[in-house]
Amino acid sequence: MQIIHLLTILVWCVVERAGSSLIIDLTHPLSSSTIYWPGVPSFNRTRLVAGVNKNNVWIEIGVFTSGEHGGTHIDAPRHFNPKGYDLKDLPLELTIADGIMIDARAEAANNSDYALTVHKIEEWEIQHGRIPDQAAVIVNTGWTLRWPNQRLFFNSNNTDDPETFHFPTVSKEAAQWLVTHRRLKMLGVDVPAPDGPRDTMFPVHSLLLPRNIVILENLMIPDSLPPRDFRLHASPIRIEGGSGTQARIYAMLYDDINSLSSSRFYICFQTYMLIIFLPCVYSLLL
């Protein structure tokens, strides 16, 4: 009976630990102010029904329209590969991964055309440890603060002409390094695209999407997102033939098990160990 009680305590500790997760939303809301690439139809929602029925029950139904690639969204492989997965067939396994965040805000502040380099990735690993294989790599350039002002976000006074846009990107060399050396699973950016606005070869898109490495664009990255130790989820709806869509993208964090002073799990575990070992010590003294 005593063993059952001890096991109950341990199970409670594990459940208590699992319940201490923190969810960080990385998604800009969809609205009339959502930013889209020039030429892509913007978001619009219209109420079809809004009111009470004859039984005084409130009912609301609406319809919305939107281009696939606008706001916080996911690029499916079909976007740059005619034989790639569309949203209907995209395996969910490709949209969930351990996440890391590379902070490139200082570089982007000094150069709006900054492109993430291999050297920056290597610096990150020196400071934070090796990037896990098949991770979701998030590049934080600070562009979140410019949303939803189109002139600030595209960094141009002419928001209809991509030739005038300036925003940070990811170099092809950095993307290739992540693919080759860390088996990249997802790439996320807080800007319109990982490729430059005037690079019509789309080197990063063309490298990643045919390899079934999805791309997340226009992320909302708060200061609370840590450099590592989170699980990234990018859940799209299943659209037959879809090359991309808005997605609810979020990070799940957990208490650092090494931060023992603030962990209820540690306190519980201490209690469990005392219950086990105190009787043993007492019996030895006798």
Mean pLDDT per block of 10 residues along the chain (286 residues) reads: 47 46 94 97 97 98 98 98 98 98 98 98 98 98 98 98 98 98 98 97 98 98 98 97 98 64 47 54 52
Judge whether 63 lies within some domain: no
Q: How many CB atoms lie within 10 A of CB 265?
A: 17
Helix (H, G, I), strand (E, B) or coil at 221: coil
Q: Are 32 and 126 within one domain?
A: yes
Helix (H, G, I), strand (E, B) or coil at 282: helix
Q: Are 97 and 215 within one domain?
A: yes
Rg (CA), the chain: 24
Extended beta strands in 26-89, E state: 44-52, 58-65, 73-75
User: For position 254, what pLDDT does the model report?
Assistant: 73
Judge whether 210 lies within some domain: yes
CA 161 to chain centre: 28
Indicate the residue type of 77: P
Q: Are 29 and 167 within one domain?
A: yes
User: For position 202, what pLDDT does the model report?
Assistant: 98
Domain count within the chain: 2
Judge whether 55 lies within some domain: no
Burial class of residue 255, CB neighbours in 10 A (0-12, 13-18, 19+) = middle
d(CA 96, CA 98): 7
d(CA 179, CA 130): 14
Q: Are 6 and 33 within one domain?
A: no
User: For position 268, what pLDDT does the model report?
Assistant: 53
Indicate the residue type of 215: I
Burial class of residue 143, CB neighbours in 10 A (0-12, 13-18, 19+) = buried
Judge whether 50 lies within some domain: no
User: Pick from 237, 179, 245, 239: which is nearest to 216 by CA?
Assistant: 245
Q: Are 186 and 277 within one domain?
A: no
User: Are 5 and 239 spatial neighbours (Cβ–Cβ below 8 Å)?
Assistant: no
User: Are 217 and 192 spatial neighbours (Cβ–Cβ below 8 Å)?
Assistant: yes
Extended beta strands in the chain, E state: 22-25, 44-52, 58-65, 73-75, 96-103, 115-116, 136-140, 169-170, 186-189, 214-217, 230-235, 244-246, 248-253
CA 190 to chain centre: 10
Q: Are 165 and 133 within one domain?
A: yes
Provide the token pair at 183: 């088996």
Q: Are 264 and 139 within one domain?
A: no
For residue 233, give its domain range. 23-39+70-253
Judge whether 62 lies within some domain: no
